[in-house]
Each structure stands twice: as C-alpha cells, then as structure tokens.
Structure 1
Amino acid sequence: MPRLEFLRRDHAPALLEFERENRAYFAASIPDRGDAYFAHFDARHQELLAEQASGLHFFHLLVDSEGAVLGRVNVVDVADGSAELGYRIAERAAGRGLATAAVREVCALGVTTYGLSTLRAVTTVDNAGSRAVLARTGFLPAGDIELNGRPGLRFVRDLRGTDGAAPEDVHMVRGSVRRRG
C-alpha cells in the first residue's frame, strides 16, 4: 500500500530514479527540469532538505512497499498561513487515485502540522488530470494565468475550519497514507 513520507536524505536514489523514469512523461504537461537538475541532483536534494528544516517548504514522497517513489507532493513558499501546492505522480501510478489521496492528506497536514489556512496551486489548461485532482480535493478556480508560455489556471483552497480535516477514507499513520476499509 502506498504511503506518504516526509522527504529524507535516504530517499535520494529512489527519487532520482523516479525523476529520470518519468522525465518525458512530466515534460508533456509541465516544464522539464533540465539536464542541470539531474547532473547536480545530490546537491539539490541537500538544498531541499535544508529548506524543509527551515520551515520554508515541506516535501513529501508517495512510496510503495518496496520504497520506490510513485509521486511527490510539495508545499512551498510557506508564509503568513499560506503556501503553494505542487505534485506529480509517476506514469505507471497515474489514474489510481493516488494523487487525490496524497493531496487530501497534505491539505490535512497543512492545517494540523504546518499551520496553514490557504493553499494555492496552478496547472496548465490542458492538464485535465491535475485539474480533476484539484477539483476533487476542494480547490476552486481563482483566475487565468500564463504558465511558461502556456494558458493556465490558478486554484485556491481555504483550509480553515473543517475543510482541512483528513477525509474519512484517508488518514496519517506514522507518516503514511492509509485507506480505511
């Protein structure tokens, strides 16, 4: 069963493999990370861990029972109770509801752990899968944008009150997303 984990130093090899395996798949809907990302991956991974330790960003990996990375869900630019949400799911894991479950869990963490009241997200207009995940997890359209030269949409989710609570079918157990039932 896939579980959500906070990014750690020992995730580096599996995360690099995930990014390499899915590079072309991701580049079809979001800007490519570029060759420098892969050439300097270890240094970048250390930077991410330092940023997470400082409370600026919170990085999560969705991993399978063998430790392979199935996806990423990031909360970045944390300030004044608000942050930006970003996520990507491996091609082999797409369409199974994993992004929806992981985003729901991170929304709950936003309230209970990160002290957030609002999450923002953006996606390109042609990324139907991402738009569906955002709609299923309570994000509302908040305007049109241009995203790396492509038409895009901005979304916002208010986490205050009960909206940020974990849904009944998903809950956090020792850093893992588990489905009930």
Structure 2
Amino acid sequence: MPTKPHTEAVLADGIRIRPLAPGDTSALLDAYVRNRAYLRPFEPHRDEEFYTLDGQARRLSDQLSAQRAGALFGWVLVDGERVVGTVTLSHIVRGPLCSANLGYWIDQGYGGRGLASAAARFACAYAKEGLGLHRVEAGTLLDNLGSQRVLAKCGFSVIGDAPRFLHIDGAWRDHRLFQRVLHEGPPR
C-alpha cells in the first residue's frame, strides 16, 4: 500500500514536528549529547561512537533507508532548528498484524509541556491515516510512570507485563506493554 507523504505540525509552544531529513545529523548529535545522562536509564547501552558525527550520520542513514523501505517512519521535534525530541514508528508489519511500535523521547529541558503526548498522537494519526495500520504498540519500563501517563492520555491500554523484555541501561529490564487499536476494518 502506498503511504501518504509525511506531514508537519506545530505541537505546542511553537515546537514543530517534521520528518527526519538527511541534514539532521548535527542537530541530532547535539540533542543526544545534551540529553545523554537524562536518557541513559531509558535506552539501550550506547557506545562512544553513537555520540559522534559519524555515528549519528550512519544511524540517520540507516533510519532513512528503513523509511524509504516502509519499515520505519520518524520525525524530529524542533524548537527553531534545535532538535528537542524524536518520535518513531518502527517494526512496521503488514498483513494480518498491520502494526508498528511507537518510540519517543523529549529533551529534558522541554518536559511537562505535553510534547510527548502531542507527538504520540501525531504518530498514531499518521499510522492510521498515512499507513493504514490497525494498531500501534509501545512499551515502558515498569517504573516509567510519566511515559505510562502519556500513553494512557493517547488512548493506549495495557496489554501486559513482559519480564526481561529489553536490554536497557546495561541489564534486561521488565516492561509494561501497551497498544492502541486504530481501526477495526480489514488490513489495508
């Protein structure tokens, strides 16, 4: 199924969401370096290469390739030209599952403004209207109550807990899994 083109929007406080672009390498590097300690408890171990221009260029190139193949769609949240977060639909599966995984993070200095909720809603709308997906899944660490509140506000419901689900911050961590059903029609 062909997808609709990515869209852009203003989320809140003048923060825009727009598709990932080839020129985002430096801004993404700056954002990840700025938020390195803040994001560490929520992310997989990142080697030093991740925090270099070359590392971010390779990562972005891989993401854009996956996007062209229809396996991933990603956006950046920007304040002017400064990246202050990302949202991604990944592991897109067609056929009878017709699903994707949602991931997001917001810059430590931009929390509490409703940006994560707005970005998650934006991605879910694109998953439904642009991709024709049936559902979106997301997972949080059990103690990440802020992210769980974001998902609840966006219409996600808990589908269960997964012991030792992902290797995060150096160890296998338990996660709470959520889903949002987008439509009840047949796979598109």
Structure 2 residue corresponding to 1:68, chosen from 79, 82, 101: 82
One-letter amino acid matched to 1:53: R
Equivalent pairs, count: 160
Q: How far is the alpha carbon of 1:82 from its aligned partner?
A: 0.4
Match of 2:31 among 18, 21, 28: 18
- 2:82 is equivalent to residue 59 of structure 1: no
| In structure 2, C-alpha distance between the alignment counterparts of 1:87 and 1:3, rounded to whole Å | 15
1:157 to 180, 183, 186: 180
Instruction: Please list every run of 5 or more consecutive structure 2 residues that lacks an aligned counterpart in the other structure.
Output: 1-13
Look up the equivalent residue of 1:121 and give its one-letter code: A
Aligned residue for 1:173? Answer: none
Q: Percent identity?
A: 36
**Residue deviations 1:24-57 (CA, integer Å, cap 9, x gap):** 1001233332223224221221111111111110
Q: Which residue of 1 aligns with 2:4?
A: none
Secondary structure at 1:32 match in 2: coil
Partner of 2:11: none
Deviations 1:72-101 (A, max 9, x none): 000001112200000000000011100001
Q: 1:84 aligns with which of 78, 84, 101?
A: 101
For residue 28 of structure 1, give the secondary structure of its aligned residue in structure 2. helix
CA–CA distance in 2 between the matches of 1:34 and 1:100? 29
Asked if 1:43 corresponds to 2:58, the answer is yes
Q: 1:117 deviation in Å? A: 1.0
Mapped partners of 2:125, 2:151: distance in 1: 14
Q: Encode CA deviations 1:8-27: one digit per residue, 9 max, x unaligned.
A: 01111111110110011001
Instruction: Supply the RMSD in Å over aligned alpha carbons.
Output: 1.3
Letter in 1 for 2:103: G
TM-score by length of 1: 0.84
The question of whether the paired residues in 2 share the 8 Å contact of 1:52 and 1:58 is answered with yes
After the TM superposition, which parts of structure 1 deviate over 4 Å for at least 4 consecutive aligned residues? none
TM-score under structure 2 normalisation?
Answer: 0.81
Structure 2 counterpart of 1:30, which letter? Answer: E
